[in-house]
Structure 1
Amino acid sequence: MSMGETDTETYYDTDGDDRGYASLDESAARGKRKEDPGYLSMDELHQPPPKTRKRRKIKNADGKQETRPVLECRMPTLVTKPAFLLPFDDMPKHKRQALGLQMLEASPPRSLKDLRNIIAAELKQVAKKLSRLERAYYGVGKSIQDEVNRYVSPIKVVMRMLTIFDFSSGRVIEDAIKAGQDPKRYKGDPNNIALLKEVHAKIKQYVPEKFTEISDYCLKILSTIEKYCVSFYDPEKDEYLETAAHYQQQINMWKSTIRNNLEKVKKLQKDFHERIIHYTMFTSPVVTFCKKNECEQVPFLFLFADACTNIRAAMAIMTTWLQADENYPIFLRNDIDDMERNKEEKVRCMRDSKTRFHSVTYKLNHAEIELDTARSEIEGWKEKEEALRIEKDYLFNLQSELQQECDFKEFRRDELAKNKADFSPDDYNETYDMLTEEIRYVRDRMPLVKRQLAAAEHKLEWMSEKKHASRKIEKEVKRLKQELKQAKVERQQRESEFTELENALEVARRIHRYKTSTDAAEKIYFCLPMGPKQSQVLGSLDDKMTKSIGVVCREIDQDWMLLYRTLPFYPQRGSETIEKDIASVNMESARGPKEGRALEALTRWRRHHTRAKFDDLIEALKKIKRHDIVAEINKVLNPPRLMEDEEQEIYVPPSVAPELVPFYKELERYDQLRKAHKNRRKSVTQHKTAQKQKS
């Protein structure tokens, strides 16, 4: 081959380049299917078509082909092969192809990050397929604007010629095509009818048949995203967490929007063929474009564009979903940091509210004690107060009388002195001395009465002050009660806020742990619980399985080996492994009691059988014909109760009062139960003694 000659070489592109190349075999296959070369199935999409590239062969100065020295020395028989004559810098870089949805169905992804990368790659592939479909529909380098420029004017001419208002359904278009073929009804350009027929046939060919596979694949991607990109938040059970609640709300909205967009593709086409469509039923970008180009009367031209817009809108939402799921742990981490900082402030506020509540409670208790003391004192000298009031009135009146008497006698004595001449000396002296003596007596009594009156008034004033203090304390108690009520409400509010913060912090930590866990994707794939595995505790008395195992260990004797072989295991446990377990139990519990061997065997069963249930144990006991143990388990789990007729048979002596009869029956029933318990303990002791004597 001379200098400058070229040869043709075919290779597969793995760089994800979307140039629309296809091999001849594939083009021939499409020709047989009468499909457009730009349309590829999803299987063809995952296997990029080969490209054809012309390459100039490199020659050295002597005119010979330049080959690789390593191949010339070690593999001389392959030197002339075209694949080994490529220069080093022209070798295609092979990349590892991304896992598809089929691989996700077959095996779990390594992590949620890998899953998001896989879904993003699948969405890119769907976008490429949609671009090829648009290129096949519009043509290379064309768009919806070219479609409008080509078809709208001729179609509007046909509508005017046939007096049709709009083409809103397939039946109207078919009738128009039939009418256009009739020269009597349509006298316009037949090319317009041909264009109408062409665009109608193209729409019927592409919508929705060409979108069915893409829509189904998008639904498949959506189901995968729904399965893995979850919020791990339950609004009904978990504490309110703004980030998680908002993300869950967005997920619900995204799911409904994506499904509506994908269903709208088929729905519009169905309405077009069976009912009617209107341009307002399209998406907002298509509606805007339709109004801009004055195509409201020919909405069927935009069915393909609206279908592509709906698919792209669904893909955009899924891409947003993946991005939000990637940022979800970051926002949760920020929330956790904020809540941990706020937790200290909440603790301080809660401590202050508790201190205030206890302080007000202490003050209120002391005030109530003082009020009770004051009220008891007032109640104690209530009668004395009444007596003091009577005494005060009496002393006040007595003081007034003494004062009046003293004034009157002094007046008489003065009058007697003025009228001295009217009396004899003896009478005058006797009367004057008597008046003077009486005045002196009255004056001597007045200080005592005044002191008694002052004492009574002082006591009454003290009592009045006590009453005033009691009323003041009562007002203080009312104020403290109101303050205590407010402090209690504040304390409860602070405690509630702190509890909500703690619960929200726990929920945020749990969700963040799930989203950042390395085995989260694997657990979701196998439908395993995300939380830690619950430890199977055998010591709980309230556990139904524990009580049953206790009865089995006590009654099974040597049949525990047969029971262990009969019990189910998940995951499956081979017969050789089961025999090894039995030998190990016999060796470890050789010197112990038989109950210990059965307990060890059943403990191993519960440890190795991840789905151990009470029903499995009962079924295994029935298979080995140990119905006696099943009956004993039923007695332990459902002990018999005294019937009403048994209670009525209890003898009640006539001396017992009627209102005490129920209590007497309860005591008799308690005595019967206690007696039965003593008899059982006695029989157990006798049985153990007999066993010891035999041994």
Structure 2
Amino acid sequence: MNIYSSFKQIYDYVEKSLDEYSRLINDLEIDYYQCSPTSIEFTSRKPRPFSVTILQAWSQPLNELHKTYLSHDIRNIETTCELLEAAKTGVFHRFIKDESIILMERISQKIVQQLNSNILILTDKIVDCMNLMKQYFLSFYHIKNIQYIIQNRQKEELPDEHLETAYTYEKSRWLHMFQVNKSVKVIREMLERIHTTEGVTFSTLSKECQELAIRCDCTSFPYIFVLPECYYEARQALNSLRTWLHDDRNYTEFIQKSLELLDKKYLEVKKTFEISKTQLSQIKYRTQTYGIQLIKFEQENEINKNKYKEFQTSFHLKENEYTSKYLKYDLYVKELNKLYQQSNDIQNNILMKTFQNDIKHISNELPKLKLQVDLIQTGMNSFQERERKLIEMQNKHKNMEKDIQLALENKIHQENNLNRIEKCRDIIRNIYKCRKKNNLIQKIFYDLPIASNDNDDLSKALCIVSKCIGRDWNLLYWNLPFYPKRGQEELYNDIKYINEKYYRGDVFQDQAIEILNKWRRYHTRAKIDDLIHGLQQIHRLDIIKLIEEDIIKPKLLLNVCHEEIDPRKKEIEDLNQKLIRLFDKIRNNTTISVET
């Protein structure tokens, strides 16, 4: 199995293969129709327009053979062999042209020959091409139960409109594979069907082959349409693969456009969400402030209710007093008028004077009482106005609470919309990153994880090395391991490219991070141990120490169980060290009597 360096190579290879398979089908079809003993010549490499002409030329001798045999439809090898055997042994009572027998023999031989060799090779090549495309032409989008959906065994759940590009391509991938497998299955079953009793019936042929048989008056010979059926199904499979190839070529570009649209949409939705959040805060603040005023107003109104009752009592008293005095005043005026009409005696004069004094006194009191009644009435009206205003404020506060609810619902809706757009954007962005990876083909080939984590330990180690390596980055690159192995000339070109790209100023860190990322991309099994090995080769123990302190030791501490510390542990270790040194000296015959 070859490993490709770019998708362009894969596209070119697949396109070249499909063209080759298409030419092979054309050659097989020409070869099949050339078995005719007639003098029809092919002037073009496109045989399909000649299929009708050839089949019409075949129809007359074949139909004569069929009428002579008086058999059912010729639809398998067994029936064909019986027909030819009967024609050769002279069983028929009427004369049969040799042309009919030779034609039928050639057709049968060509069918068996191509089905057992060329057609099988063709189907294997188509399947291999499909498997190659299935391996490399990935959408990086998952559709649950897609196999059942394309077979109409499960209802399709449409995705978010912003994921339509990825969804459509993934679904089309499976549809293409389903179509190819279906066509290949039909082709491979042909070899078995021609040996069965039922054989190849007219109703099991494709619509195109049925129309061709009717047009050429060959409906009694479905057996001769075995290979045309295979050619048709093979072309259907190739058309599906060509469509798939075209879709995959445009998929990354479409995903990029979707990502750009989602970025713009995200900014718009985020702005709308921020506005809705601000509106909710403002409405809440206004409602809260208004609620405080309402509570204060309600408290004041509660206090005023008692005063209102007092005012009502005073109003009734004063009003009754005013009415009483007014009636009394009116009565006195009437009595005084009567006295004016009577004789002027002393008693009348006294009464008149008394009435006049009383009227004068009452007339002086009435305005005061009227004023008091009006003042009390004004106070009561003020209380009633406040009560009406309180009801208005309460209604307004209820409406403001409804506005809060509406603003909250709008904010939740905008937040959900923002989360939906953000989720779609993350999915599309992840697809785009995976499709644009420089080492995507290598990762697919070696069956490695495609999605990388920028926060993994190796990334942290590369960051530490790039900061501390300085001008030794090129020396480190020469000593790093590669799998698959990378030649010396390629390493030299990599370093030369980095040097030419960064040639001014203090750019060691930029050079180091780029060359280390290149190493990580080309070394498919990159790990921290490989990086440490390269640092050991160039004697940069200071960087190794930093990696161990910042990455390796903290990671080990997470897995180490805390044990109880023995207070005599240090003494035991010191004693062991002394014994080890003593035994080393004894072994080297360097002991002295004092030490022993």
TM-score tier (shorter): 0.5 to 0.7
Say which SS state the counterpart of residue 369 (structure 1) adopts: helix
Would the alpha carbon gap of residues 120 and 464 (structure 1) be closer, same or farther in structure 2, given more than 3 Å must change? same
Give the AA of the match of 2:346: P
Give the AA of the match of 1:333: Q
Q: Distance in 1 between matches of 2:368 and 2:93?
A: 142
The match for 1:405 is 328
Give the AA of the match of 1:425: I
Residues 73-110 of structure 1, C-alpha deviations (whole Å, 9 max, x = no match): xxxxxxxxxxxxxxxxxxxxxxxxxxxxx4x2xxx211
Q: Distance in 1 between matches of 2:437 and 2:322?
A: 101
Q: Distance in 2 between matches of 1:360 and 1:429?
A: 79
Q: Percent sequence identity over matched residues?
A: 15
Deviation at 1:463, TM superposition (A): 1.9
Give the AA of the match of 1:491: K
Q: State yes or no: 1:119 paired with 2:14.
A: yes
Q: Normalised by the size of structure 1, how large is the TM-score?
A: 0.59
- State which drifts further: 250-259 or 134-143: 134-143
Q: State yes or no: 1:429 paired with 2:352.
A: no
The match for 2:479 is none
Residues 90-489 of structure 1: matches in 2 within 5 Å? 102=1, 104=2, 108-139=3-34, 141=42, 143-164=50-71, 166-168=73-75, 173=80, 187=94, 189=96, 191=98, 192=100, 195-207=103-115, 209-235=117-143, 240-274=162-196, 275=198, 277-279=200-202, 281-420=204-343, 425-426=346-347, 428-489=348-409
Deviation at 1:689, TM superposition (A): 11
Say which SS state the counterpart of residue 207 (structure 1) adopts: helix
Q: Distance in 1 between matches of 2:286 and 2:547?
A: 64
Q: Normalised by the size of structure 2, how large is the TM-score?
A: 0.68
Would the alpha carbon gap of residues 409 and 158 (structure 1) be closer, same or farther in structure 2, given more than 3 Å must change? farther
Q: Distance in 1 between matches of 2:108 and 2:554?
A: 70
* Contact 2:59 2:217 (C-alpha < 8 Å) held by counterparts: no
Deviation at 1:188, TM superposition (A): 5.7
Would the alpha carbon gap of residues 195 and 129 (structure 1) be closer, same or farther in structure 2, given more than 3 Å must change? closer
Say which SS state the counterpart of residue 517 (structure 1) adopts: coil
Residues 407-458 of structure 1, C-alpha deviations (whole Å, 9 max, x = no match): 122212222333347xx623x2333333333323332332222222212221
The match for 2:414 is 494
* Contact 2:52 2:212 (C-alpha < 8 Å) held by counterparts: no
Would the alpha carbon gap of residues 183 and 415 (structure 1) be closer, same or farther in structure 2, given more than 3 Å must change? farther
* Contact 1:180 1:190 (C-alpha < 8 Å) held by counterparts: no
Deviation at 1:526, TM superposition (A): 0.9
Give the AA of the match of 1:216: D
Residues 390-413 of structure 1, C-alpha deviations (whole Å, 9 max, x = no match): 333333333222222211222122
- State which drifts further: 453-462 or 353-362: 353-362
Structure 1 residue ranges without an equivalent (≥5): 1-101, 539-569, 591-595, 607-611, 618-631, 637-679
Give the AA of the match of 1:110: S
Structure possessing the higher relative contact order (Cα contacts under 8 Å, 6 or more residues apart): 2
Give the AA of the match of 2:181: R
Residues 500-523 of structure 1, C-alpha deviations (whole Å, 9 max, x = no match): 444434433433333233211001
Say which SS state the counterpart of residue 243 (structure 1) adopts: helix
Q: How many pairs align?
A: 479
Q: Distance in 2 between matches of 1:573 and 1:440?
A: 118
Q: Distance in 2 between matches of 1:507 and 1:148?
A: 55
* Contact 1:336 1:505 (C-alpha < 8 Å) held by counterparts: yes
Q: Distance in 1 between matches of 2:526 and 2:270?
A: 48
* Contact 2:87 2:96 (C-alpha < 8 Å) held by counterparts: no
Deviation at 1:524, TM superposition (A): 0.8
The match for 2:449 is 529
* Contact 2:273 2:415 (C-alpha < 8 Å) held by counterparts: yes
Residues 187-240 of structure 1, C-alpha deviations (whole Å, 9 max, x = no match): 46264455445433432332365311211221111111111111122357x985
Deviation at 1:157, TM superposition (A): 3.4
RMSD between superposed Cα atoms in Å: 4.4
Structure 2 residue ranges without an equivalent (≥5): 35-40, 145-158, 459-524, 578-596
Would the alpha carbon gap of residues 688 and 496 (structure 1) be closer, same or farther in structure 2, given more than 3 Å must change? farther
The match for 1:603 is 552
Give the AA of the match of 2:427: V
Say which SS state the counterpart of residue 4 (structure 2) adopts: coil
* Contact 1:367 1:476 (C-alpha < 8 Å) held by counterparts: no
Say which SS state the counterpart of residue 241 (structure 1) adopts: helix
Q: Distance in 1 between matches of 2:526 and 2:273?
A: 51
